[in-house]
Structure 1
Amino acid sequence: MKYNEGANLDASQMGGGGRGGGGKIAIGGGAGLVVVIIALLFGLNPGDLLGTSADPGTDPSAGSSRFEQCKTGSDIQNNRDCRFVAYTNSIQSYWKSALQGYRTIQVHTFSNSVATGCGNATSAVGPFYCGADQTVYLDTDFFDELTGTLGAQGGDAAEAYVLAHEFGHHIQQQTGTMREVQSQGNKTGPKSPGVRLELQADCYAGVWFAHATQDPNSPIAEVTSDDLKRALDAASAVGDDRIQQKMQGQVRPETWTHGSAAERQRWLQQGFKTGDPNKCDTFAG
């Protein structure tokens, strides 16, 4: 990805304090999938894993101070952390224009563990969205897991895809889709409501990619064909079947929570090709 060096970056969208309590399971899109699969295979409650923290968590002010030097797109060259501000600003700018009444939220970066409105979470959960406090939580070390354990090619576009997927869950929170799915219980399998929810978030991520460079003030200047390939590769790497085969040596579709590698790629590409969130109805049929 190429960045618009003259674009203003809004670091106020980063950081923000997590808080304890809640009890609702957070919605993840990356390493959280590993946690859920392991929980299902061994008869554990994924919520219990999410709610276990080895330490009190990170300082709530750490996220904002980490990014306070990110003023313009040119700062990305000197401080690579500023790319997360660029992703966040661009994603939220698009959804503010596409969804009436869109509520701007924060991305809270953390390491080791963090207290959230959905309970305490460790780095094992990976990036996730908590509907209880409407915050995206991002352990940036996850991207080493993505390219290492999960075998993705990585790159800025792969990172942006992961973040855009989590913002897709915020859209679902605002439209009521998430509440409707959660009311149906913790069903699993390729056609389960939970899988359809995750695939829709992938599609929404693709929609953002399609619009990322259209705003002349966007910090994202160019999304190349190689960027799209890397995003699709990341989507494949976090497919249920790919992770199950890698982690357990077998594939059990009845336990799927996020969708197969092929389906995750298909819906990400659907969003990118159409650029229309109305074409992301993964619940039809």
Structure 2
Amino acid sequence: MKWQRARRSSNVEDRRGRRLAAGGGLGLGGIAIVVVISLVLGKNPMEMLGLVQQFTAGTASQTSSAPSQPIDDEASRFVASILGETEDVWTELFRQQGQRYEPARLVLFSDQVRSACGTASSAVGPFYCPGDRQVYIDLGFFEQMRTRLGGGGDFAEAYVIAHEVGHHIQTLIGVSQRVNDARRRGQNVEGDGGLLVRQELQADCFSGVWAHHAQQRHDWLEPGDIEEALNTAAAIGDDRLQRQSRGSVVPDSFTHGTSEQRVRWFRTGFDSGDFQRCDTFAATRL
């Protein structure tokens, strides 16, 4: 992938090397326990961490005894380039609809980070927080994709970033609010065919739409790049992850969709380039 052809975004904040202040917040051990419990119960780790954080955030603040300077390394340049391309693509697509795109910020962190959605460890993986409209990524996750999940590669990493930006798109167009409203009304949003799965699959489709237009703009994909993204989408399907961790599949606890669904919705976006084809909430077949 010839990612150097893209414009680098200035909306990247590098918090790698910073430490969270002791006291008030969850420690690493506490975060790990919440993550493990959420996976066992089939819950969204970020949701459970956010709930716990509501009781612990009052006295904690994010500090660093020696604030680190942003690291100008290849990894950060890659992230800034991919984020910049999402900004350029979605700015144009929004413009065509007579709307203005508001870019998300992306935070690089290591080990642990505090967001408006609560404190999270690297174990949670990349996530988007609608409370502060920021994407959070520990770059160590990309190494895990290669060594543990059977995915990886530069375009696969771009897919992950574009997927999280897809959640930002959902916040801007009101999808996230509708899902949250349903949850507050007591509606069960999890499970195969549930609103959470539809929300995640739509983000996969949005990432495919972005990849379609980015390729048209830069002709930057190389042989094997699409396969990297598809392999990664398959590797992080609920069914595969559950089979690896539990030895069985429990569709009622799905939150992201199966491997086949994630691959198919990414391809829907990539092949069409039309974000209106990404209405997973109206789809009868996911």
TM-score interval for Structure 1 and Structure 2 normalised by the shorter chain: 0.7 to 0.9
SS across alignment from 1:115:
strand
How far residue 82 of structure 1 moved from its aligned partner, in angstroms, is 1.1
Structure 1 unmatched runs, 5+: 21-34, 70-78
Structure-1 residue corresponding to 2:3: 3
Structure 2 unmatched runs, 5+: 22-33
The CA distance in 2 between the partners of 1:134 and 1:235, in whole Å, is: 23
How far residue 15 of structure 1 moved from its aligned partner, in angstroms, is 0.3
The CA distance in 2 between the partners of 1:195 and 1:134, in whole Å, is: 20
Q: 1:58 to 1:190 in 2, by over 3 A?
A: farther
Query: Which of residues 181, 184, 187 is equivalent to 2:182?
Result: 184
- Provide, for residues 111-169 of structure 1, a one-character-per-residue CA deviation record: whole Å limited to 9, x for no partner: 111111111111111100000000000111001111222222x1101100000000000
Structure-2 residue corresponding to 1:163: 161
The CA distance in 2 between the partners of 1:195 and 1:157, in whole Å, is: 23
Structure-1 residue corresponding to 2:113: 114
Structure-2 residue corresponding to 1:214: 216
How far residue 48 of structure 1 moved from its aligned partner, in angstroms, is 3.6
The CA distance in 2 between the partners of 1:157 and 1:43, in whole Å, is: 29
Which structure shows the higher helix fraction? 2
The reply on whether 1:65 has 2:49 as its aligned counterpart is no
Q: 1:211 to 1:49 in 2, by over 3 A?
A: same
How far residue 57 of structure 1 moved from its aligned partner, in angstroms, is 5.9
The CA distance in 2 between the partners of 1:182 and 1:255, in whole Å, is: 17
How far residue 199 of structure 1 moved from its aligned partner, in angstroms, is 0.1
- Provide, for residues 66-122 of structure 1, a one-character-per-residue CA deviation record: whole Å limited to 9, x for no partner: 24x7xxxxxxxxx34311111110011101111121101211000111111111111
- On the 8 A contact 1:58/1:113 being kept in 2, the answer is no
Q: 1:36 to 1:168 in 2, by over 3 A?
A: farther
**Whose Rg is larger?**
2
The CA distance in 2 between the partners of 1:180 and 1:244, in whole Å, is: 27
Query: Which of residues 182, 200, 204 is equivalent to 2:206?
Result: 204
The CA distance in 1 between the partners of 2:86 and 2:210, in whole Å, is: 6
Match for 1:161: what amino acid? Y
- On the 8 A contact 1:57/1:113 being kept in 2, the answer is no
Match for 1:3: what amino acid? W
The CA distance in 2 between the partners of 1:120 and 1:223, in whole Å, is: 36
Structure-1 residue corresponding to 2:229: 231
TM-score normalised to structure 1 length: 0.79
Q: 1:9 to 1:187 in 2, by over 3 A?
A: closer
**Counterparts of 1:11-160 in structure 2 under 5 Å?**
12-15=10-13, 39=38, 41-42=40-41, 46=45, 47-49=47-49, 62=68, 65-67=70-72, 79-99=74-94, 100-152=99-151, 154-160=152-158
Q: 1:131 to 1:45 in 2, by over 3 A?
A: closer
SS across alignment from 2:215:
coil
How far residue 40 of structure 1 moved from its aligned partner, in angstroms, is 5.3
The CA distance in 2 between the partners of 1:202 and 1:43, in whole Å, is: 20
- Provide, for residues 202-234 of structure 1, a one-character-per-residue CA deviation record: whole Å limited to 9, x for no partner: 00000011011333xxxx551135111110100
- On the 8 A contact 2:133/2:168 being kept in 1, the answer is yes
Q: 1:168 to 1:119 in 2, by over 3 A?
A: same
TM-score normalised to structure 2 length: 0.79
- Greater than 4 Å deviation, 4+ residue runs: 16-20, 35-38, 50-53, 55-62
The CA distance in 1 between the partners of 2:230 and 2:63, in whole Å, is: 32
> What RMSD over aligned residues (CA atoms) do the two structures have, in Å?
2.9
How far residue 8 of structure 1 moved from its aligned partner, in angstroms, is 4.5
SS across alignment from 1:15:
strand
- On the 8 A contact 1:16/1:106 being kept in 2, the answer is no
How far residue 44 of structure 1 moved from its aligned partner, in angstroms, is 7.1
The CA distance in 2 between the partners of 1:210 and 1:58, in whole Å, is: 40
Q: How many residues are paired up?
A: 252
